[in-house]
Amino acid sequence: MTKGLKMDEARRDGFGERIFPIKELCKELNGTLRCKNCNAQVQYVSSYTKESSKRPVAAYLKLWQGAEHEQSCPFTVKGAVEQLVATSESVEGADPLMVLQSDGNYLFRMNVLVDAVGELERSREGGATAAQPGHNREAATFRPSGRRLASYFRSAVGVARIRSLIQESDDLNLLKQLLIIEYKSNKVSWNNFYYDDERYQALYKALKSRRIQYPVAVQVTVKGSIEHYANAKKFAWSCRCYSQIVEIDGTRHIFVPTIRFSDEQVASGIAAGKTYLLVCSAWLGNDSDPQAKDGKVIVYKNVSFGVHNPSQLRLDVGGE
């Protein structure tokens, strides 16, 4: 049974068309809360902390038991996908990231995103000469490439957001049917594209085996403050995120995600305790040497995510 997507805004009975953000709502208001789009009854779910990772989970809204959204509501999976596709097409023009297929479903073309990244990098390499007299053509091609790439990333993060808001397996199966991910003419499974905080181990294994040659979508919750590394060549700012801890044959494996930024302005907008969705490149760092702690053998396994553009990330539900 589908349950609709998580929400972070609602209407209240007796307040007309006014929309309330999650920070102005509480559990005591249950029974008076409505979907802001279709008026279906919704309920407030309090914030909590995950036992396995100690990660804070923000409060959110979900459908009241037995309630249903209207079919076209953007808080259904189909409604959310159609709204995202319409927004993407209006911005991206002739070469959209998502394309309608003859069966009524959509193709998420990962090649378009990867090619745009490559185009931007080639333009950036010519940036030094583009500023010189006689090189206006290179300068002109660089700016639209950046805008288009930002649009593609916003669409890709929008795809990840829909996935992160899903609560029920029926809704996930519907998303897999509605939105097919393709890279180099091959289908990419959702499990090989989207990784939440309970699947860092799976991402580590996929990167270790070199199965992933494209940007991935990840859900991370920032744990520490931004650190600056003045001697870093590319990613001079970074922050650690909450880890996944897995016990394997008596050894505690701690999978540590780190967001790395090439731009100080993008990094400065990150806040500890907030959960973000990223679409980015991912790579492995060095594992730590095994060490003893509290009677356990512990190994830290590091996974890094590279962010250049603010459009590569957004707050998850409850964070805004």
Domain positions in the chain:
9-63, 77-183, 195-315
What pLDDT score does 149 carry? 83
pTM: 0.87
- What are the tens digits of pLDDT across the range 13-72? 999 999 999 999 999 999 999 999 999 999 999 999 987 777 888 999 999 999 999 988
Q: How far apart (Å, rounded) are the C-alpha atoms in residues 43 and 27? A: 8
Fold of 195-315: OB fold (Dihydrolipoamide Acetyltransferase, E2P) (2.40.50)
What residues contact 59, with CB distance under 8 A and at least 6 apart? 22, 25, 44, 45, 46, 47, 318
Q: Which residues contact 266 (CB under 8 A, 6 or more apart)?
A: 307, 308, 309, 310
**Does pLDDT of 131 surpass 60?**
no
Give yes or no for residue 239 having a pLDDT over 90: yes
pLDDT for 83 equals: 92
pLDDT at 289 over 70: yes
| φ, ψ of residue 50 in degrees (nearest 5) | -70, 130
Token pair recorded at residue 268: 């400065």
CA distance 308 to 152: 14
pLDDT given for residue 305 in this prediction:
97
